Every structure is written in structure tokens, then in C-alpha cells.
Amino acid sequence: KKKKKDQLLFKNICFKIDEEVAKLLELKAHLGGDDGKHQFVLKTAKGTRDYNPKQMAIREKVFNTIVSCFKRHGAETIDTPVFELKETLTGKYGEDSKLIYDLKDQGGELLSLRYDLTVPFARYLAMNKITNIKRYHIAKVYRRDNPAMTRGRYREFYQCDFDIAGQYDAMIPDAECLKIVHEILSELDLGDFRIKVNDRRILDGMFAVCGVPDNMFRTICSTVDKLDKLPWEAVKNEMVNEKGLSEEAADQIGVYVGMQGGMDLAERLLQDQKMCQSTQACAGLTDIKLLFSYLQLFQVTDKVVFDLSLARGLDYYTGIIYEAILTQAGVAPVAPETSNEAPTEECVTVGSVAGGGRYDGLVGMFDPKGRKVPCVGVSIGIERIFSIMEQKAEASTEKIRTTEVQVMVAAAQKNLLEERLRLITELWNAGIKAELMYKKSPKLLSQLQHCEESGIPLVAILGEQELKNGVVKLRNVATRDEVDISRADLIAEIKKRTSA
């Protein structure tokens, strides 16, 4: 009896197991499972994006323009690790330090992803005891920001930096940095732009004469830096109600940050009774006058404005600071000359497209003996520029080429794969960009259609008759004109036609 009872119990257990397995299989079928494989969520991480070939073609064109300008001005390039010791980055970015990406402790080193390319550059100079260099660096940086990707703000993005390190006479390197911004933005043809200029010494002097306590300079500077995004009333409210500044001091700051002009404004402020009380403000204003005299010689003063509202919140700036914004309609409208109000967020779709300044004390922070290396530099906002270029490309009917192929090696008849391979090898060995279809006997029409779709300008057509005569039929894809070229002259002819 006990044996029968155990057998019955076993059968019941097996039945229940089979029943549960069937339910699981049914659920799996309902969820679309495939052999137990994990179903991935296919998306990029927040604040990042993929780039398709068309977007990359636009991107490479922008990079080439920027690198060409940097090289024209005599810069050499370096590279640094994507992560740094956490202590290297700590305390260099003011209130933005909260946006640094910290990494998990791996064997005792506390590391963080680089926030910009400037602090790693300063560390590189101090570590290698370099006192003079003109360098550019193009690489990705990381910020744990709240991304606004429609406006070109990401958590992972490229920076394009140009910096001049070394002891030189005042404002000559600074003026060249502004000239570089002017050249790049003009060549990229993004629309009208303006380069705002100020000086940290002028800001600090202004804060002092307006009654801001010394220990509040940096935090009030970070608030003033928001004037490009917020109206004056909102900025004043943050100063008074959130940061504890007196309303009287805030109102005095409000008078100054509404001022814009050129060399004339610097001269006027040098006569201002309040500003005259600050030695560092006077030094900054004197340098602004000198800067504008050099900018006149560089022929860029039509785009540069001395703007006392410009603050740039990073802690390491010590002197001249600047920022370029687009002023074309619908991109970044400019506040009226007499107004203290910044453009509204609804109007601004991109924001600043370049910025930088002088940071004479940063290298000394890393040097064991505190030796300073004066530095000035500029960073081009490549992601924001790319957002505009992409929008322009979508609105344009012009076709964007995603390859640089100059000639397609095609066949007019079947079974000519070996001859096509021989010819394309000759072209590759001669440095010509060429391709062929990966079929033994493709149709001539499909080969020609591929050229039209891809923007390939020339087709080198092989046929039985051409092979007997020792020629290649060279076809212009746009005009459809064809001419027989001897095999010996083909490479020279292709290079002549594609040299532009």
C-alpha cells in the first residue's frame, strides 16, 4: 500500500511540474522569448547619441575646418587619458564640480572622467615641466548634466581646444585666440555671430565696489553667469534670496552688468568713480583697451563686444574671458544694448558656440614648487555647432556624400571579376579611392545606379572589347559622357579629373 501511495504521489508531483513548465513555455511564447535569450532594451544611454554616416560626414567636415585653423596658427597636438585622479579635477570648476563623473574605486585609485580638456592640459604641463607650448586637443569629455540634446547639450561630447602657454607680452596671445574663433565661425558659415569679452579682474573689482563680501565672489560670479539664460530679475532673486547677498549690492551689480560696448566703454569705466576704487578692475580695463587695439589690427572688432554681464563660472579663470554666440534669428537672439534681460529660453535653441579665457594660476596648482605657467585658450562648442549644421543639412536639397570614392570599377559583361580586381588593385596602389560591387557578374545598370546614389563621380567600365583594345571606358556619372582611355593613361586621367 505504501509503495502504491508513493507512486501516486510521484505521479501527482510530475503532473504538477509538467503543468508549471507548460505555463512557463506559454508565458515565454507570449513574451516573444527566443531560446531563453535576454531581451535587450535597444537605446543609447541618457545624454548620448549614435551618429549615422550622413551625420558623420558633416561632423568630419566641421572637424577638418577647425583643425585646419588650429594648424594655420602654428599649433601642435597632444592627447591625455579619458580619466584623471579625482583630486586632479576637484575644486577646479566651482559649482559645476557636482557634474563630474566619479568612477568606482579600482585598486586604491580614486578616478573621475575628465570634465574638460583644460585641467588635464595644466596637469600635463606641470608633470612634464613644460613652460611654452601652443597646442590643440580634440577629445571627448563627460558631464553628469541634465542633457538638453535638442540644444546640443550632452553627457558625453567632444571639445576642441586651442591653448597658448608661456610668458608673453599682454594680450597678444589673447587676441589671437579671438581671431581663431572669428576665423572658424566665419568659415563654417553658421550665420551672424558675436564674441562677448570681459575680464575676471573687472568682475571681481566690480563685486568689491558693489559690496559683495570676498568669500562670495565665486558664487555670485556663477549666478551672474546665468544671465545668458535667465532675465535679470531671476538672477537677482538667486543672489538675494538663495545666496544671501544684500539687495543694495545686487542692484549696484545690475547697473554694471547691463553695460556693453567696445574700447570706448573700457575708457569710460576707467573714469567711473566706483570702478576707480579697484586696482584689479583698472588693470583689467587697461588690458581690455589693449586687446581691442590688437583686434582692430586683426580686423575682427566688428564681431567683438565688451560685455560686463559675461562671467563664465569656472573657478580657474584669472583674466580675460570670452564667449561666442550666434545672433541669427531663431538661434540665439541678442538682448538689446540697453536691456539687462537675457534672451528667453524658448528663443534660444543652441546657446554659446565657443568660449575661453586666461588661467594663469592653474598650472601652479599642480607644480610641486607652485611655479606658474601663464595660459590662455579657447574651446569650440563642436556639439552645438554640429546641431546647427545638421539642421541646415536637413533643410537643404544638397546631397551629402558619406564616402570619398572617386571611381567605381564596373563591368559591362559577365565573368569579368578577375579583370575588375586587377584594375582596382592598380587604382588602390596609385592612391585612388575606388570600389567595386561584391558580385561576380553584377548588372551594369545596378553599378551605375549605385554611383548616382552614392555621388561617385566616375565609372571605369571594362568589357571584352575594351580588354582587347587595351583601354578602359571612363564615364562621367553626372553628364553620362564616356571616353576610351588607354590603360597606361587611366590613373593620370582619373587624378586630373578628381584633383579639385
- C-alpha cell of 266? 573700457
Q: Is residue 117 marked as binding? A: yes
Annotated binding-site residue? 200: no
* Beta pairing class for 133-142 and 156-165: antiparallel
Say if residue 397 carries a ligand binding annotation. Answer: no
The rounded distance, in Å, linking the Cα atoms of 93 and 4 is: 80
159 known member of a binding site: yes
Q: What are phi and psi of 178, to 5 degrees?
A: -70, -35
Task: Flag whether 317 is marked binding.
Answer: yes
Does the annotation list 143 as a binding residue?
Answer: yes
Q: Is 425 within any annotated ligand binding site?
A: no
CB-based burial label for 164 (10 Å; 0-12, 13-18, 19+):
buried
Residue 456's Cβ-count burial label (10 Å; 0-12, 13-18, 19+) is buried
CB atoms within 10 A of CB 376: 29
First to last CA, the chain: 98
Distance CA 423, CA 428 (A): 9
C-alpha dist (Å) from residue 5 to 2, 9, 10, 131 = 5, 6, 9, 92
Distance CA 11, CA 62 (A): 73
The C-alpha cell that represents 41 in the structure block: 532594451
Cβ proximity of 477 and 448 under 8 Å: yes
Given a contact cutoff of 8 angstroms between Cβ atoms, the answer to whether 436 and 410 are in contact is yes
Residue 484 marked ligand-binding = no
Tell which residue, 281, 235, 280, has the closest CA to residue 254. Answer: 235
Contact 352, 381 (CB under 8 A): yes
Is 144 annotated in a binding site? The answer is: no
Distance CA 89, CA 205 (A): 27
Residues making up the binding site for L-histidine: 116-118, 143, 159, 163, 312, 316-317
Residues making up the binding site: 116-118, 143, 159, 163, 312, 316-317
